[in-house]
Amino acid sequence: MELTDRPRRLRTDGVRSLVRETSLSAADLIAPVFVDATATERVPIDSMPGHERVPVDEAADRVSEICETGVEAVILFGIPESKDATGSRAYAEDGVTQRAIREITAETDAYVIGDVCLCEYTDHGHCGVLETGAADDPTLTVRNDETLDLLARTAVAQAEAGADMVAPSSMTDGMVAAIREALDDAGFEDVPIMSYAAKYESAFYGPFRDAADGAPAFGDRRHYQMDPANRREALREATLDAEEGADVLMVKPALPYLDVVGDLRREFDRPIAAYNVSGEYAMLHAAAEKGWLDLEAVALESLQSIKRAGADLIITYFAEDVAERL
């Protein structure tokens, strides 16, 4: 045989890493942190091995542990001490996330991102103000425009507490514009917005809802989160968010939607983020516990695939474990 093109020449040790097309580093990763205003000690999250809810006074210590692995950024989710119909603890000055942000920014050098949504703070578990009778009528849903003001107030409250970035995740039409205007009016023109631009109504969120007490008390979120069958719609959503001032565009979940990650990477010159969600994390752990998969190997391969698809930033529960091996 006279083969002039032998790809295996570039797969040998030494040259293999030199020609690697996709590089993953700890600086690409964002670690989620759950801060619980009702906890007095760290509480393990059963469905997410290795993760805990932490009390507010331990939030900075938890973030310091993350930073020691080389991960530079965290995204915060709060579990409040009380809930109501409008999620008022989300935008309270002394709300759990705002308190945690102050602790973390005072004691660490981490880049702190605040998740901006109401589902963890409402007594009904939906991402905004409900239409009258929604609990009994499955055709009713969240009031879009009435929710915008509350999201804007939440983002400003987080910025006032010291958040470096805010990340609206409610899939409310106009949320980026409302938040951008509110931040600018409050003097936070330099605080960027990472929008959950294409957030699907996914079955992969189950463990997170346990972790953050964010499951809806009734119904589902199909009226405001995207249909998993839709691909082109993601470009429309992302275009609207970009036009409204989003600095970073996110796809959630990541692995089942790598085609969408790739689409956004090709269409936009903004950074693209992807959320490697709780269900993606939990199922790999479950398979590893059965001895069916090598957890370290599949975790790294999963994150490499997300980066290869076009994500610049990856929110992942594997952040610490993978960062220590990079």
284-290: list long-range contacts, CB under 8 Å, 24+ apart: 285/48, 285/49
252 is catalytic: yes
**DSSP summary character for residue 109:** -
Rounded (10°) CA dihedral 119, 239, 235, 71: -60
- Angstrom distance (rounded) from CA 255 to CA 211: 20
Exactly one of 83, 252, 290, 307 is catalytic; which is it? 252
Q: Report which secondary-structure segment, H or E, holds 165.
A: strand 165-168
For the question of residue 199 being annotated catalytic, the response is yes
Q: Which amino acid is at 267?
A: E
**Rounded Cα–Cα distance for residues 45 and 34 (Å):** 10
Q: Go through 44-70 and write b for each residue having 16 or more CB atoms within 10 A of its CB, e for each that does not.
A: ebebbbebbbbbbebbbebbebbbebb
CA distance 221 to 124: 12
Where are the alpha helices (H) located in the chain, listed in sequence order?
15-18, 59-67, 96-107, 144-161, 175-185, 206-212, 232-244, 258-267, 278-289, 295-309, 319-323
Catalytic member of 83, 199, 290, 307: 199
User: What residues act catalytically?
Assistant: 199, 252
